[in-house]
A and B are shown apart, each in its own frame.
Chain A
Amino acid sequence: MTAPPEGSFLSGQLPAAAEEPAAAAELAAAYEEPGLGRRALTSLRRDPVALISVLAVVVLALVAVFAPLLAPHNPLQAYPNGLSADGAPIAPGSQFLLGTDPNGRDVLSRLIYGAQVSLLVGVVATSLASIIGVLVGGIAGYAGGIVDSVLMRITDVVLSFPILLFCIALIAITGPSTRNVMLVIAFGYWTYLARIVRGLVLSLKEREFVIAARTLGIGHSAILRRHILPHLVPAIIVYSTLGVATSILIEASLSYLGIGVPLPQASWGQMISQGQQYFQSAPWLLIAPGVALIVTVLAFNLAGDWLTDLLDPETTGARR
């Protein structure tokens, strides 16, 4: 054997190696990851479905915000010329682009204002649900033990009701109003996020960097804020986007049943409910809000899927 005895590790000598840091720093710079914005643009260019759904969400948001400017008519006004001579709704035409409803109101304007209600309810309810869900799930997962058991059993109880039934029961107690609809949906939906967040926190708190922070002498609230919450953000964004779709659907269902957004305010669910009586003589009453609802829910769901792929809550923050 030609290897000198000094080469043996048991001899107690370790070879000194070339200086690594400078070279590796250059290497790291060369492999710098592209920023999130750039990655988002690239993936949108490659995925036309995602591009369309994200555009749809943006357009919807713009329509909702600028509803007063975009609506051709007053959505609440019953126009005398909005009904035919024998009192039937007018079909889509040049004066009323999407026709009128049985009260002689402009369907397009009601649709546009309905978007406002849908998005408002969807976003506010989901935001509230996210805040409750992250707090409950985060505390349960981090604290563990009895706190975890109590919070999660409460979550299970809420989760065991079908969410729509749960919301109907709550509305029956609180009475229908736009505000109550938002609160009720938030109260039904937070459980989903709480479960997901708890699961993530359970695994995060065993990660070495969290343990290292603890042994460094950092307090619990600082660990939650600095080391746990940033890792939850992708999951929160993804599930909130999906939650907006769910909330819009629940709001439409409640309004369809007549216990959602109160009349005469326009809401898609309520328009569908009204339109179904006339679907043979005036199908546009059903088709217009129906298509709007389908497109909106689909757009939020597909945008949510795209965000999942982009932010990838499974591997973000994990070893690469």
Chain B
Amino acid sequence: MTDPAHVQSIATEQTAAAPPVVDVRDLRVHFKVHRGLLGSQLVKAVDGVSFAIAAGETLGLAGESGSGKSTVARTLVRINRPTDGSVLLAGAETARLSGQDLRAYRRRMQMVYQDPYDSLDPKMTIKDAIGEGLSVRGVPRARRKSEVEELLARVNLPVALAGRYPGQLSGGQRQRVSIARALAVSPEVIICDEAVAALDVSIRAQVLNLLKDIQADAGVSYLFISHDLSTLRFMADRIAIMYVGRLVEYGAAEQVFSQPAHPYTQALMAAVPDIANLGGPRPAPLPGEPPNPASPPPGCAFHPRCPLAVDLCRTVAPPLVRKATGQLAACHVVPDAPEVTP
């Protein structure tokens, strides 16, 4: 079910800022899962997600495991094929590209993966891994050595590591190499899918700072996916919260963190441990578990766990609309922003 009102609202949200680099409209990714011998089931991993990222901006995407946030990332870099919806990159439709056009598109949208132990080929030296990106961009062989060294310097790695294999590097170093490899094709957008989740806290901070520096230098946009809200708070200009394949809240980071509108977002924020408030009273944890995306509950997918749920929530899925606090949220109960009459 396409919801024109909600697609529209994302676009108006964005017009205030610069025109978006990435404009995702009503993205749907459905998987057919075979069960038993004959049965099959449609899993709506992503079901009508819209967002936009401006040049040099970071969108933080948060949600529990199974909420579909990684599927969004994998669909943007086209590991998965979008079932429906549109993905505009600098205004051009890309959702149905294939062949050479797809390869050209891939250069512009890069991803840094979660597992620094698996995202680099263990049988390839660091300089070859980065050089591969350069070759895709068409950098002549003779210039590759110097460009590899430049990229290593840019991610604060010693040039001496160029001849090493990933197995000889630490997790943080490997993640820097991944970043350098992504930068080698000079993309407009870099998607970080839990890119720092596997790193120690101190190294995590360095990598995050590095990403910020690169953004300041090169003006790349990030889609930063994490289940860790403190990381997102540090990185993101704008936040989107996903629950079972849909956005439940979307707005400026400041707004979402200071006044979360959706009850799910509120519960997520409350669950973050706060050192300043250790030993103090803790809010009751969210009851239950996220539903199986193969069979989400009718109406608002969150209603079985929601403290505010009313009868309407059990039958009708709420649209993502502007709330009184300023951001967009999908909830029947939270009061909408007052109608502005033109």
Contact = CB atoms under 8 A, between A and B. Distances in A.
B138 to A, nearest CB: 11
Contact of A31 (B107, B158, B168): B168
A209 B120 contact: yes
B167 A9 contact: no
A173 interface: no
Given A24-B170, A213-B121, A8 B275 contact: yes
A32 B167 CA distance: 9
Q: How large is the interface on B (under 10, 10 to 19, 20 to 34, 35 or more residues)?
A: 35 or more
Contacts of B274: 8, 10
Contacts of A25: 158, 160-161, 173
Contacts of A226: 121, 124, 132
B162 to A, nearest CB: 11
Contacts of B158: 21-22, 25
Given A10-B230, A219-B103, A214 B132 contact: no
A1 B133 contact: no
Interface in B66-94: 77-79
Interface string B160-191: 11001001111011001010010001000000
Contact of A5 (B103, B204, B276): B276
Interface string A201-226: 00000011111111111110000001
Interface in B201-242: 202-206, 208-209, 229-231, 233-234
B124 to A, nearest CB: 7
Interface stretch (A12-20, A104-112, A160-168, A189-197): A12-20
B115 interface: yes
A216 B110 contact: yes
B276 A317 contact: no
A212 B104 contact: no
B29 interface: no
Contact of A319 (B113, B118, B161, B172): B118
B29 to A, nearest CB: 16
A226 B275 CA distance: 48
B122 interface: yes
A231 to B, nearest CB: 6
A201 to B, nearest CB: 15
A208 B181 CA distance: 14
Nearest to A4: B276
A227 interface: yes
Contacts of B292: none
Given A1-B276, A208-B115, A317-B122, A24 B205 contact: no
A230 interface: yes
Nearest to A209: B121
A46 interface: no
A299 B181 CA distance: 46
A28 interface: yes
B126 to A, nearest CB: 11
A19 B107 CA distance: 31
Contacts of A86: none
A216 B118 contact: no
- Of B132, B161, B176, most buried by chain A (CB within 10 Å of CB) is B132
Nearest to A27: B170
A17 B209 CA distance: 10
Contact of B276 (A7, A214, A217): A7
Interface in B260-280: 272, 274-279
Contact of A33 (B104, B168, B229): B168
B53 interface: no
Contact of A215 (B110, B121, B123): B110
Contacts of A231: 123
Nearest to A17: B202
A14 B209 CA distance: 9
Contact of B205 (A4, A8, A16, A216): A16
B170 A213 contact: no
A314 to B, nearest CB: 14
A218 B79 contact: no
Nearest to B129: A209
Contacts of B233: 9-10, 12
A20 B170 contact: yes
A10 B164 CA distance: 37
Contacts of B119: 208-209, 212
A317 B203 CA distance: 25
Contacts of A218: 132, 136
A235 B122 CA distance: 16
A21 B109 CA distance: 27
Contacts of B77: 215
20 contacts: A7-B275, A10-B272, A16-B209, A17-B206, A20-B202, A20-B206, A25-B173, A28-B168, A31-B168, A32-B168, A33-B167, A33-B168, A207-B118, A215-B78, A215-B111, A216-B107, A217-B103, A227-B124, A231-B123, A318-B122
